[in-house]
Amino acid sequence: MDRSRAADIFGTAILDWARGGEDYEIYERDDGYFCEGDGRAAYLGPPRDWFDAERRALRLARGRVLDVGCGAGRVSLELQRRGIEVVGMDASAQVVTAARECGVAEVWHRSIAEVGSELADFDTIVLYGNNLGMLGTPAATRRWFRSWASIAAPDVRMLAVSTSPYFGGAPCITRGYFHLNQQRGEMPGLLRYRYHYQDLVGPWWKWLFVSRGEMATLLRGTGWKVDSIINSSPGDPYVAVLRLDGSVRPRRSDQHL
C-alpha cells in the first residue's frame, strides 16, 4: 500500500475524480458497518445537481469569499462564473492541486487552524459539503468558531452546511448508530469512520452532523449565531446563515485552536 496516498485518501480520491476517475469511496464506521459514498458527482457536479438548499443559498455570497474545504472547487468555480472574487482553501495538497487543475484561480493550501488576521479580509465564508462538521467533536468545533469570531470582519456572513442525523440523509448515519452514540454519551450525529478508495484504506476520522436545533446549541457562547436557515426536505443538507453575535465576546483562552 502507498502509505502517503492512504494518509490523504480523500485528497487522492478528489484528484483522481478531477482527472476523470469514476470509482466510489467507501465509508467504514467504527462499529464495522460499510456504506458507499456519492463519488465523483458529489464533488464535481454543476449547480443544477446540487442539493436545493446549497443552490439557493449561494445567492447570499457577497464581497470576497473564502471557500473552506473547497474540494475540487465546485463552489469556487460557480462563484468565479458569477464574477465574485473567491479563494478556495484546503488542508490537502492533492485537493489543492485538483482545484487548480479544475480552474480555481486562487487556492490556499492550509488548514483552518492556520488562518489568521487575513480572515478579516473576507465578507463571506462558505462551508459547503457538510463542512460545518469537519473538526469532528463538538468541543473542537466550538473552539474553532470562537477563534474565528475573534478575527473575522464584524459584518461577515457564513454559509454553513450540515445534515440532520435523524432523517436518513447524513452519510452512513443510521438509526441504530445514532442510538449507539447516545448510549456512549456522544452527540447522535458524531460519525467515526475511515475511507476506503480503490486499494487504499485511510486513517480514522470524526465528522459531526447536527440538526438545526443542535446547531444553535453548539454555537451558543462561541460568538456566532444562526441568522436564518435555508432547507428543503428533512433528509437533505440545509444551510445555516451565520453572523457574529455582538453580545458575545470570545474568551481569550478560546481564541486559538
What CATH number did the domain enclosing 49 receive? 3.40.50.150
Q: Judging by beta carbons within 10 Å of its beta carbon (0-12, 13-18, 19+), is residue 114 exposed, middle or buried?
A: exposed
**Cell reading at 39:** 463519488
Residue reference for cell 493550501: 109
In DSSP notation, 145-159 reads: HHHHHTTS-TT-EEE
How far is it, in rounded angstroms, from Cα 166 to Cα 175? 7
Kindly give the pairing relationship between strand 86-90 and strand 25-29. unpaired
Q: What is the pTM of this model?
A: 0.92
Q: Which domain holds residue 118?
A: 3-254
Q: What is the pLDDT along the chain (257 residues), one digit of tens a residue?
A: 455 566 799 999 999 999 999 999 999 999 999 999 999 999 999 999 999 999 999 999 999 999 999 999 999 999 999 999 999 999 999 999 999 999 999 999 999 989 999 999 999 999 999 999 999 999 999 999 999 999 999 999 999 999 999 999 999 999 999 999 999 999 999 999 999 999 999 999 999 999 999 999 999 999 999 999 999 888 999 999 999 998 665 554 444 33
φ, ψ at 164 (rounded to 5°): -60, 135
Where are any strands of DSSP class E within the chain?
Answer: 25-29, 34-36, 65-68, 86-90, 107-109, 124-127, 157-162, 190-197, 200-201, 205-208, 224-230, 238-244
Structural domain count, the chain: 1
Judge contact between 131 and 210, C-beta under 8 A.
Answer: no
